[in-house]
Chain A
Amino acid sequence: MDEIKNVIELNNVTKDYGDFKLDKVSFYVPEGSVCGFIGQNGAGKTTTINLILDIIKRDGGDVRVFGQNVDQDSASLREDIGVVFDEMGFHEFMTGRDINIMMKNIYKNWDEATFFEYLKRFSLPSKKKCGDFSRGMRMKLQIAAALSHNAKLLVMDEPTSGLDPIVRNEMTDIFREFVLQEDHTILLSSHITSDLEKIADEVVFINGGRIVLSGNKDEILEKHGILRCKKEALSKISTSLVVGSEMSSFGCEVLVNDRHAAAKLYPDMVCESASLEQIMLYYVSADRR
């Protein structure tokens, strides 16, 4: 049987900015998966991505991409990585054609035909300056560039933030197409959990520079649940099950980390499945307390 390979592996990675610290971050992204990297703004998603891409220097720990330490030959590793950032990064005076000229002289595997096909598919004019593009068009341009050099790993930092639902949907379709090939992997950071719920296989949840939760998305959704009860009943619930709770005028909502156990222990209470967004919100508010 083939062993499952990890395309990205982070082991006790630290980065200290003084006012913010990425604290012993460890997680992995298996080959062929879509990994959703979630967390609120300022949680450390961008810093982690920058460390994976070796754009910034880490203070400690190991980062391995395609099984190789990023310190050793990160430049050649990046041939196989397509990158999409939250901001375009290309100069506003550049046109699609200019970007093609630049990229074909940077990436060994740059595929000009694929790039122009994507531009056509995304209805992006190749002669128009990208400074005149809308935010959605700019993101599409970045995705076109990221997908045109036969990358095996796509690393995206908030590519869907600030986009309307139609464009976001288009993008998730493209991501799905990309991972149809077995050896293609995506690490997608976002705080829009509904997008990730659609496409992610794995989820890594970061908060305050620490990994709170990581693993298979379905397993995480299957395990967690929202328990509805009266305020007086809250104290009866085992603290080992409770992640966080919210009071309302109608009663109390509790996020539990083992909903099947909770359903057995408290049959008189209603236990529903939780969404990624709810899980994120409860973990964040529990962390604040």
Chain B
Amino acid sequence: MKGLILKDVMSLKHQLKIFVFVLFGVVVTSILFVLSARFGNLALAGREMLRTEQASDIDVKNLATVALVLFMLLPIATVGDVVNVFQADGKAGFYRIAGAFPLPVSKRLLARFLTIYALFGIGTLIDLVLALVLSSLTDLIRFRDFCGIILSAASVMSIYSALVIFFCILMGYGSQSYAQIFSLLSMGLALILCNLKYCGSLIKAITTDQSGSLDMTIFWRPLDFIKEKFWILVLIAVIVSIVSYVVSLKVALRKRGVI
């Protein structure tokens, strides 16, 4: 199984190089951002927004946090896309060779899951180290909140990857783009269905606002959720991964030659 994990990592070699460049860019940019938010132009802009009452203290803080969080999510988002592994295997005709290896389908599938989760693990760890450094430089966000946001991002990426693996196995080689689209649609649909009330109030707030000074607190609710209740997303990621593995295994055993 270790051999297949190593092969999958080799398939992602190019992407891992991009990850290193992105990481370097993120480290530099986020440190500059934090310093600017404390001593530079961003700090001045924030003060100006407060002075002219364009935004509240919380709004300014959250806007800066969101920008910082977006930087921080880039490494996790680029650390590894499972679709590339499926594509490389299909292009090489590796499925047939893998079928002749002394490994059962269950282990071959597990290797795929472990590869991608190991990479997310590395991405998360690097992000946490970066968060530790940044939180010591700024009072915008606490390290604990950073952890919540990073773990939430890793959970979302894990859910996406688990769904992509399932759809790739269900649809076979050549359908990787559809697998990505279906995964994103499924996630979007689930998100809307689970937050119907919030979505309704968000639409209502936007459409009924006449004054032009929209109450921003409604936008910060998801941010507060992932800061405080990130464990819910982690739990969902674990459940989706297990379900995806079990169902994908059943499909792979029935279809053969897909992993």
* Complex contact B96–A55 (CB within 8 A): yes
Q: Which residue of B lies closest to A55 (CB)?
A: B99
Residues on B with beta carbons closer than 8 Å to the beta carbon of A93: 10-11, 13
Interface string of A143-180 (1 = CB under 8 A from B): 00000000000010000000000000000000000000
Q: A87 near B: Cβ within 8 Å?
A: yes
* Complex contact B256–A57 (CB within 8 A): yes
Q: A106 near B: Cβ within 8 Å?
A: yes
* Complex contact A90–B94 (CB within 8 A): yes
Residues on B with beta carbons closer than 8 Å to the beta carbon of A89: 92-94, 96-97
* Complex contact B10–A98 (CB within 8 A): yes
Q: Which residue of A lies closest to B103 (CB)?
A: A75
Q: Which of B1-9, B147-155, B186-194 contacts A (4 or more CB under 8 A)?
A: B1-9
Least distance between B96 CB and chain A CB atoms (Å): 6
Bound: A103/B10 CA distance, A: 13
Least distance between B108 CB and chain A CB atoms (Å): 9
Least distance between B150 CB and chain A CB atoms (Å): 31
Q: A102 near B: Cβ within 8 Å?
A: yes
Q: Which residues 69-121 of A sit at the B interface, judged by CB distance below 8 A?
A: 74-79, 81, 83, 85, 87-94, 98, 101-108
Residues on A with beta carbons closer than 8 Å to the beta carbon of B4: 102, 106
Least distance between B95 CB and chain A CB atoms (Å): 8
* Complex contact A81–B256 (CB within 8 A): no
Least distance between B250 CB and chain A CB atoms (Å): 13
* Complex contact A105–B3 (CB within 8 A): yes
Bound: A79/B104 CA distance, A: 12
* Complex contact A53–B100 (CB within 8 A): yes
Bound: A129/B1 CA distance, A: 23
Q: Which residues 1-41 of B sit at the A interface, judged by CB distance below 8 A?
A: 1-4, 6-7, 10-11, 13
Q: A56 near B: Cβ within 8 Å?
A: yes
Q: B102 near A: Cβ within 8 Å?
A: yes
Residues on B with beta carbons closer than 8 Å to the beta carbon of A103: 3
Known contacts A75-B104, A93-B10, A101-B3; A88/B92 CB under 8 A: yes
Q: B101 near A: Cβ within 8 Å?
A: yes
* Complex contact B93–A56 (CB within 8 A): no
* Complex contact A55–B257 (CB within 8 A): yes
Bound: A102/B89 CA distance, A: 14
Least distance between A148 CB and chain B CB atoms (Å): 13
* Complex contact A106–B102 (CB within 8 A): yes
Q: Which residues 76-108 of B sit at the A interface, judged by CB distance below 8 A?
A: 88-89, 91-94, 96-97, 99-104, 107
- Interface SS of B by simple majority: helix
Q: B51 near A: Cβ within 8 Å?
A: no
* Complex contact B257–A106 (CB within 8 A): no
Residues on A with beta carbons closer than 8 Å to the beta carbon of B6: 101-102, 105
Known contacts A53-B100, A90-B92, A93-B13; A102/B256 CB under 8 A: no
* Complex contact A78–B102 (CB within 8 A): yes
Residues on B with beta carbons closer than 8 Å to the beta carbon of A101: 3, 6
Q: B197 near A: Cβ within 8 Å?
A: no
* Complex contact A57–B11 (CB within 8 A): no
Least distance between A21 CB and chain B CB atoms (Å): 18
* Complex contact A55–B10 (CB within 8 A): no
* Complex contact B100–A83 (CB within 8 A): yes
A53's partner among B1, B7, B99, B254 (CB-CB below 8 A) is B99
Bound: A238/B96 CA distance, A: 47
Residues on B with beta carbons closer than 8 Å to the beta carbon of A92: 91-92
Residues on A with beta carbons closer than 8 Å to the beta carbon of B257: 50, 55-56
Bound: A94/B10 CA distance, A: 8
Least distance between A22 CB and chain B CB atoms (Å): 15
Q: Which residue of A lies closest to B253 (CB)?
A: A57
Known contacts A89-B93, A91-B92; A57/B101 CB under 8 A: no
* Complex contact B11–A91 (CB within 8 A): yes
Bound: A107/B102 CA distance, A: 7
B101's partner among A94, A98, A106, A155 (CB-CB below 8 A) is A106
* Complex contact A91–B100 (CB within 8 A): no
* Complex contact A55–B92 (CB within 8 A): no
Interface string of B201-219 (1 = CB under 8 A from A): 0000000000000000000
Q: Which residue of B lies closest to A89 (CB)?
A: B97
Bound: A89/B97 CA distance, A: 6
Known contacts A90-B92, A105-B2; A57/B97 CB under 8 A: no
The 10 closest A-B pairs by CB, nearest first: A105-B3, A55-B99, A106-B3, A89-B97, A105-B2, A83-B100, A78-B102, A79-B102, A75-B104, A91-B92
Known: A54-B99, A102-B7. 15 other contacts (CB 8 A): A55-B100, A78-B102, A85-B93, A85-B97, A87-B96, A88-B92, A89-B93, A89-B94, A90-B97, A91-B88, A93-B13, A102-B3, A104-B3, A105-B6, A106-B101
CB pairs A–B below 8 angstroms (7 shown): A50-B257, A53-B99, A55-B257, A75-B102, A88-B93, A93-B13, A107-B101
